[in-house]
Structure 1
């Protein structure tokens, strides 16, 4: 007989080439996600890394730089704990269905990232007058539909966004070198944005005096409200306020009893200040207990609620979070044809017998 105390969850595979796998988020309770459980999101196969690995800073700068990855460890370091979420998380929940990786709840992980503030690197390089955006180019390369040839994964931030003090060029994850599958040796970390902004295997930083037009900036990672045309499209940026019920799990069958409903909530636009639960399809709401950590402003918040399940029957437990900016999870998601940013009220169905 297997030892049940040693049973561990696995990643859920969505694709192998490129590798895309979900965190077993319903089974994890630690503040930091162990390396082996960090979700994996790739557009291309894993890159072959040059030796030595150099980070170049070029473009509209006064002093172009070329830095070895190991040099950055001698700079003044900063650490931030970040709930890193793929913008396609919960894509499977959209109706009508949308194309793309059919993520359920696990395209999210939380780690402590350590590195050098990007602002320090840009200040050393010196921004020329008229600099508008900063482009981040990873070592991973491949083909993109509608684009000729092989291209790298590349994204940009405005200069203002790039100079945010908590945007890092990270070289450690949870106190160790960044795992290869998560961006070793250098990864950009943009704490309040969806994960596509945190470019892995960061190899080049280019400051430009115009708007970046790469396909991962202007074609992908855009909200398209219409299935038929591109009217009204706008960019995917900061994480929406969101929540997950970890336990009990959807479609559980449980005896009459008292249960602790538990989960996590997070936002890219302010600290989560409230999580509420409803057991009557939103007719009334009750506050859950939160365990926030003010020292980790970009981390998810754990919450619990004691449920007295005294009568047999079918139940739906709903959760909704509200952040400091006043954003609350809506009843229905903002449908968009690429399936980004799902953050509707979370629902779990339970049978009590």
Structure 2
């Protein structure tokens, strides 16, 4: 059993909880408390549209010093000096991007299932343990928000006003999406694979955030379901227990 297997085995014996004032329970600190309690001064992103100063924080679970773009949901930007230290961005300073504020604050690894359904021969729901029995692949791939550097646009456009740090490079460990799809048996005529995640809309009637890949792309052998990142398990804020990696594409997947 390697280090990653040992870590994940330990997780299956208990729930993984975020136990931090910033994300304790299902709530996140309000802005006044945030300003007094979890920030560490300001950094200037030199954005042309003004309002370029951002707080620095180390208060989010599993994260070191990060540029705070938003609290709820967490939007954390990697400081630029981090990219000068190594070709791989460390997990504790890898950027964080969530679309919906109702993010998971605990994961029951025993109960977690990856569900494959739709135009398949056999709908399946596989556990993390079953997933890890499939042939493993490892690859280096950049993970970048499609809004990276948005704060530098002129004229200014809506959305999180990122500097250049909504990106990172990691060595990912996981299994090919193709192998998982083969377990369910994709039927002839399937066009796309659609993906959902654990964050949920907080307003009734709001659309869920989903993405899709053409079936040929999904089965090309490069798209992977990752459970490891830079030699250890995924941080919860970066998708624990599994996330999709689509090399060469923006990380909206």
Is contact 2:82-2:89 (8 Å) kept? Answer: no
Q: Secondary structure at the match of 2:148?
A: coil
Provide closer, same or farther for how the CA distance between residues 61 and 13 of structure 1 changes in structure 2, counting only shifts above 3 A: same
The CA distance in 1 between the partners of 2:250 and 2:174, in whole Å, is: 19
- Range 23-32 or range 95-104, more displaced: 23-32
Q: Which one of 180, 196, 202 corresponds to residue 137 of structure 1?
A: 196
Query: Does 2:166 match 1:110?
Result: no
1:237-257 deviations in Å (ceiling 9; x for gaps): xxxxxxxxxxxxxxxxxxxxx
Where do residues 1-353 of structure 1 align in structure 2 (5 Å cutoff)? 10-28=65-83, 29-45=85-101, 46-47=103-104, 48-50=106-108, 51-143=110-202, 148-149=204-205, 151-197=207-253
Which of the two has greater helix per residue? 2
The CA distance in 2 between the partners of 1:64 and 1:37, in whole Å, is: 37
Is contact 1:141-1:150 (8 Å) kept? Answer: no
Bigger Rg, structure 1 or 2: 1
Q: Secondary structure at the match of 2:76?
A: strand
What is the deviation of 1:74?
1.4
- RCO higher in structure (CA 8 A, sep ≥6): 2
Q: 2:54 maps to which residue?
A: none
TM-score (norm 1): 0.51
Provide closer, same or farther for how the CA distance between residues 70 and 143 of structure 1 changes in structure 2, counting only shifts above 3 A: same
Which of the two has greater strand per residue? 1
Q: Secondary structure at the match of 1:138?
A: coil
The CA distance in 2 between the partners of 1:78 and 1:67, in whole Å, is: 18
The CA distance in 2 between the partners of 1:170 and 1:159, in whole Å, is: 19
The CA distance in 2 between the partners of 1:71 and 1:129, in whole Å, is: 26
Gaps of 5+ in 2: 1-57, 59-63
Is contact 1:111-1:174 (8 Å) kept? Answer: yes
Q: Secondary structure at the match of 2:89?
A: coil
CA RMSD, aligned part only? 1.8
TM-score (norm 2): 0.70
Q: Secondary structure at the match of 2:217?
A: helix
The CA distance in 2 between the partners of 1:177 and 1:43, in whole Å, is: 22
The CA distance in 1 between the partners of 2:239 and 2:82, in whole Å, is: 25
Is contact 2:140-2:172 (8 Å) kept? Answer: yes
The CA distance in 2 between the partners of 1:74 and 1:122, in whole Å, is: 15
Gaps of 5+ in 1: 1-7, 198-353
Q: 2:15 maps to which residue?
A: none
